[in-house]
């Protein structure tokens, strides 16, 4: 079945450091890919998305490129801030059936000042 | 923009009682809503797909009689945890797709604690 694998956390960085959170997927066909962010005590918010190969999603300084050849959708940000501390989830949307979201296990990110 | 409202945000109940969680789409209609459960430091597990006007579709391993789902209108789905036990304590999140696209809109979740 479809699945999403994220890099193990937690990840701790200093402010202004470069961030990469790896995400790879296994899916039938070409699903849509997403990154969601969950701040402490809150629900999920869509951070960015890409719907086809080579698409780049971007938002709030975060970027991720849909790489079909490596089945990856790594999240990057050039200079992180303390306010970026949260849990990040990579997800894919199935293209058949109920088209539900399949999530990775989440990566907890902590940014120290 | 589109918003999904989930209520209550927190609930504490005694073992053996039932708890109802509501999920509303505020400015769009949702024929389908998704209910997730999140364990501590774990990812989200899809529990069921709620379908307006018909029975919910449950994921494998989820007890239908324990987690009752009702989708009575195009803007409201409810999840009732029946005869709750401490192991049901968790964070429950609903999600709804807007105009048939991916479920981009999530409620803020409900923290259930069963004592």
pLDDT tens for B64-94 read 999 999 998 999 999 999 999 999 999 999 9
Non-local (6+) Cβ contacts of B77 within 8 A are B22, B23, B30, B33, B35, B50, B52, B69, B70, B71, B94, B96
pLDDT score of A97 more than 70: no
Of A49, A99, A103, the CB nearest to B43: A103
Q: Greater confidence, B8 or A2?
A: B8
First to last CA, chain B: 37
Tokens of B76: 């409201």
Of B32, B34, B107, the CB nearest to A43: B107
Task: Measure in Å the smallest separation between the Cα of A55 and chain B Cα atoms.
Answer: 16
pLDDT of residue B27: 84
Would you call A101 and B106 a contact, using CB atoms and an 8 Å cutoff? no
pLDDT score of A108 more than 90: yes
Q: Report the alpha-carbon distance of residue B105 to residue B115 in Å, rounded.
A: 31
pLDDT tens for B15-65 read 999 999 999 999 888 888 999 998 877 778 899 999 888 899 999 999 999
* Three-state DSSP state, B88: helix
Torsion angles phi and psi, residue B50, rounded to 5: -95, 130
pLDDT score of B1 more than 60: no
Of A53-62, A74-83, A104-113, B24-33, least confident by mean pLDDT is B24-33
pLDDT of residue B100: 57
Q: Is-contact B59 B48, C-beta < 8 A?
A: yes
Give the number of other CB atoms < 10 A from CB of residue A108: 14
Would you call B41 and A108 a contact, using CB atoms and an 8 Å cutoff? yes
- Chain A residues closer than 8 Å to B57 by CB: 98
Of A34, A42, A44, the CB nearest to B102: A34
Q: Report the alpha-carbon distance of residue B78 to residue A16 in Å, rounded.
A: 43
Tokens of A9: 């956390």
């Amino acid at each position: 079945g479809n699945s999403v694998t994220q890099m193990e956390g937690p990840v701790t960085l200093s402010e202004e450091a470069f961030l990469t959170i790896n995400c790879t997927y296994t899916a039938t066909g070409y699903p849509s890919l997403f990154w969601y962010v969950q701040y402490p005590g809150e629900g999920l918010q869509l951070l960015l998305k890409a719907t086809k190969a080579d698409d780049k999603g971007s938002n709030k300084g975060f970027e991720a490129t849909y790489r079909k050849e490596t089945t990856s959708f790594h999240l990057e940000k050039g200079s992180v801030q303390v306010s970026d501390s949260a849990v990040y989830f990579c997800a894919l949307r199935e293209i058949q059936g109920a088209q539900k979201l399949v999530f990775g296990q989440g990566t907890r990110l902590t940014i120290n000042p | 923009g589109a918003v999904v409202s989930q209520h209550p945000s927190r609930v504490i109940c005694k073992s053996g009682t039932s708890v109802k969680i509501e999920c509303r789409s505020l400015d769009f209609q949702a024929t389908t809503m998704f209910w997730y459960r999140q364990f501590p430091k774990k990812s989200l597990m899809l529990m069921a797909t709620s379908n307006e006007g018909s029975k919910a579709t449950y994921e494998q391993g989820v007890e239908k009689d324990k987690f009752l789902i009702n989708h009575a209108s195009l803007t409201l789905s409810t999840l009732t945890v029946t005869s709750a036990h401490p192991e049901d304590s968790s964070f429950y999140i609903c999600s709804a797709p807007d105009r048939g696209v991916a479920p981009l809109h999530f409620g803020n979740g409900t923290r259930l604690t069963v004592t």
